[in-house]
Amino acid sequence: MTETAPWTSRKPTALLVLADGTVIEGHGVGATGKVTAEVCFNTALTGYEEILTDPSYLGQIVTFTFPHIGNIGTNEEDIEDLTPAARRGAVGVIFKADITEPSNYRASRHLNDWLSSRGIIGLSGIDTRALTAWIRENGAPNAVIAHDPNGVFDIEALKAEARAWSGLVGLDLAKEATSGQSSQWTETPWVWNEGYGETSPEDAKYHIVCVDYGVKRNILRLFAGLDCKVTVVPAATSAEDIMALNPDGVFLSNGPGDPAATGEYAVPVIREIIKTDTPTFGICLGHQMLGLALGATTEKMHQGHHGGNHPVKDHTTGKVEIVSMNHGFAVSSNSLPAGVEETHVSLFDGSNCGLRLTDKPVFSVQHHPEASPGPQDSHYLFRRFLNMVREKKGEPALAER
C-alpha cells in the first residue's frame, strides 16, 4: 500500500504510521497524543461503543469497515469493560467519514468527546477499504497512531517506534485488563424501555465464579439473568482460592494478548480446576487457555477474526450460527489431544472455534455468544453450561434454545 493522501484539503492532524514505513494521513478525532499497537479491522455494522470498550481489544487499533461511525452517539449503558475508570479497551480507532452529530434517543454524548474522555486516539477521512484490503493481504501490522491538532509530527521518529514495537506475541495483557479485586455482579440483561435489571445474589440458585482476564459486562449479565450469583475474581487468583468460594461452575473469560503468555500462570490454575470435575466454560481467551491446559497449542493468526457476521458451525447440533468474533490468536485444530473434541469451526477459514472434554463437564468457544449479532444464535451456550451445573446437582436440563 502506498502513502495515502487525505481526502480533503484540510491539513492532516493525525497519522497512522505502519512498521513498514507507510504513512497514512487523516483528520484527528478523540484524544491527542500517540500510541503504538496492532491494527485490525472490524466488519460489524453496529455496536461501536461495545467494540471500543471490549477489553479484548487492548493493545489494538480498530479500523471500522462500516463508513459511518458515531451517528447514534454514545451513552453510559453500552460499555463492556468492567472497570471503565481504567479505560481498558481499544487504544486507537480509524474511521472513513467524519463523526456526525448523534441522532438517537439514548445518546448522552458525542462520540468525539467520549473518545477523548477514554484516551482513545483516532483519525478519520481515509480509505478504510484500502487499509482493510492491505491487512488481508499482508496481515495485521504494528503501527503508531498519532493525533496533534497542530499537525506537527516527527515522522521518522514515528516510523522508528512502529518498527521497534515487538507486537502482541508474548504479551500478557490480561494482567492489565483484569479487575483488581473480587466482586459480586448483580446486573441482568437489558429489557426494552426498562433498561438493565438487578438480581439479589442471596436469592440466586447457582454460584458461578468468573476468572476475569478482561471480561465483558454482557457475559456477566447473561449469567445473572439465569438465576446465578456471579463472583468475579482477578486473573491470577489461585485454584485453591477459587474452589474455596464453593462454585457450582467456573467461567474463564475473554481478554487481550497472547494466550501463551497469560497461560504461564493461568494454565496451572485451570488444570487444577478441571481435576475437581467442576463444570467449566471458557470464551475467547478463556477458550484458548483451556486449550493450552488440555495439551493443545495456540498460534497467531494472519489477520484475526473481528466482526459480527461470522458463520460458525456447531458440530454437536449440526446448526450454523452467526456470531461475533474478536481474536487474533487461535487454538490449532491439529493439536487437540485425545479426549478433546472439536465442537465448533469457522465456516470462513475452518479454524477452531470450540472444544470440549469427552469425559468431564468442560467446554469452551472462541466466539462471543453474549454479543448477539444473530441476534441470539449463541445464547444457548450459557444454558448448555448451566445444564452441566444442573446435571451435577441432579436437576433436569433446560432447553438449550
Contact status, residue 120 vs residue 90, Cβ threshold 8 Å = yes
Catalytic annotation present for 370: yes
Give CB contacts under 8 A, 24+ apart, made by 226-231: 226/382, 226/383, 226/386, 227/199, 228/204, 228/386, 229/184, 229/201, 229/202, 229/204, 230/184, 230/185, 230/186, 230/201, 231/182, 231/183, 231/184, 231/185, 231/207
Max CA-CA distance within the chain? 69
- What the block records as the C-alpha cell of 53 is 470498550
94 membership: H or E segment, kind and range = strand 92-94
Choose the catalytic residue: 80, 284, 344, 353.
284
| 50 closest CA partner among 23, 84, 79 | 79
Catalytic annotation present for 187: no
| Other CB atoms within 10 A of residue 269 CB | 23
| Other CB atoms within 10 A of residue 97 CB | 17
Q: What are phi and psi of 278, to 5 degrees?
A: -75, 130
Catalytic annotation present for 379: no
Choose the catalytic residue: 147, 306, 368, 379.
368
Choose the catalytic residue: 25, 40, 370, 379.
370
For the annotated catalytic residues, the residue numbers are 284, 368, 370
